[in-house]
């Protein structure tokens, strides 16, 4: 209960944009970067001089966010770009990764921020996976795997731990639990989910 309460009524932050070092020359991808936490993150990074790719399914919302950020941070030395991606479609994810790597030779931080919360039962992804699993787990995982080479290459010439992948979590996992919690059945989960992830990793042409 204490953890849930602190998430619903968070204390004063101990780290803000005032603590952020200049980000000139660094490249970031923020999925779901045109609203909510993602938008504020893009604002902080862009204001600090970073090159920020706002990744999402809606180009219109992405361009609106870019216009707002440029208006809010007129003196920024950074850059803003939209990267089209639908995390519930493996084809779209692959296209987004290819588009990014065709434009950039480095990636300092990938923020897997986008997600879906409790969609109606029965909805599935383009490849037939349950929508929450596809959008919140398989999609970001696959996107990350496709970007590992450029992340690894970038890390070779950067300070330790400065190149990384960050996942945004959700309070929904705490507030939506059934009475008595959840029996994860770890061994069953491991044996059933691993083949699924292997299928995604080694999938060839879509």
Are 42 and 69 contacting, i.e. CB atoms less than 8 angstroms apart?
A: yes
Q: What is the pTM of this model?
A: 0.82
Sequence spans of domains, the chain: 20-202
Q: Tell me, what's the pLDDT at 176?
A: 57
Residue with tokens 């590992």: 148
Choice between 203 and 142, residue whose per-residue pLDDT is larger: 142
Q: Tell me, what's the pLDDT at 21?
A: 93
Asked whether the predicted pLDDT for residue 128 surpasses 90, the reply is: yes
**Average pLDDT, stretch 189-195?**
53
Q: Is domain 20-202 in CATH 3.30.70.2740, yes or no?
A: no
| Res. 206 pLDDT band, cuts 50 70 90 | very low
Query: pLDDT tens digit string along 135-190?
Result: 999 999 999 999 999 999 999 999 999 999 999 877 665 665 666 665 655 555 55
> Cα separation of 106 and 14, whole Å?
30
Question: In Å, what is the CA distance from 118 to each residue of 154, 157, 171?
Answer: 36, 41, 12
Q: Return the closest-CA partner of residue 22 out of 84, 72, 77, 101.
A: 77
| Res. 70 pLDDT band, cuts 50 70 90 | very high
Q: Can you give the C-alpha Rg of the chain in angstroms? A: 18
Q: Which of 53-57, 65-69, 118-122 has the lowest mean pLDDT?
A: 118-122
Query: What is the rounded (10 degree) CA torsion for 66, 155, 48, 139?
Result: 30
Q: Tell me, what's the pLDDT at 116?
A: 86
Q: Which of 5-14, 18-27, 152-161 has the lowest mean pLDDT?
A: 5-14
> 118 — alpha (psi -120 to 50), left (phi > 0) or beta?
left
Q: Tell me, what's the pLDDT at 202?
A: 40
| Res. 120 pLDDT band, cuts 50 70 90 | confident
Q: Tell me, what's the pLDDT at 151?
A: 98
Q: Tell me, what's the pLDDT at 13?
A: 80
> Cα separation of 200 and 106, whole Å?
24
């Amino acid at each position: 209960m204490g953890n849930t309460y602190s998430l619903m009524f968070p204390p004063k932050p101990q780290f803000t944009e005032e603590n952020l070092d200049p980000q000139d020359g660094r490249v970031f991808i923020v999925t779901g970067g045109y609203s909510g936490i993602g938008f504020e993150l893009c604002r902080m990074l862009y204001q600090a001089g970073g090159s920020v790719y706002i990744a999402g399914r809606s180009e219109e919302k992405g361009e609106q966010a870019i216009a707002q950020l440029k208006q809010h941070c007129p003196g920024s030395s950074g850059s803003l770009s939209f990267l089209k991606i639908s995390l519930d479609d493996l084809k779209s994810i692959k296209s987004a990764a290819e588009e990014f790597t065709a434009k950039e030779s480095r990636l300092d931080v990938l923020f897997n921020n986008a997600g879906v919360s409790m969609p109606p039962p029965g909805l599935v992804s383009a490849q037939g996976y349950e929508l929450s699993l596809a959008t919140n787990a398989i999609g970001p995982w696959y996107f990350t795997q496709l970007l590992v080479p450029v992340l690894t290459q970038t890390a070779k010439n950067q300070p330790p731990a400065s190149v990384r992948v960050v996942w945004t979590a959700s309070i929904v996992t705490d507030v939506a639990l059934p009475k008595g919690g959840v029996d994860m059945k770890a061994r069953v989960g491991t044996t059933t989910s691993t083949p699924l992830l292997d299928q995604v990793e080694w999938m060839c042409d879509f």
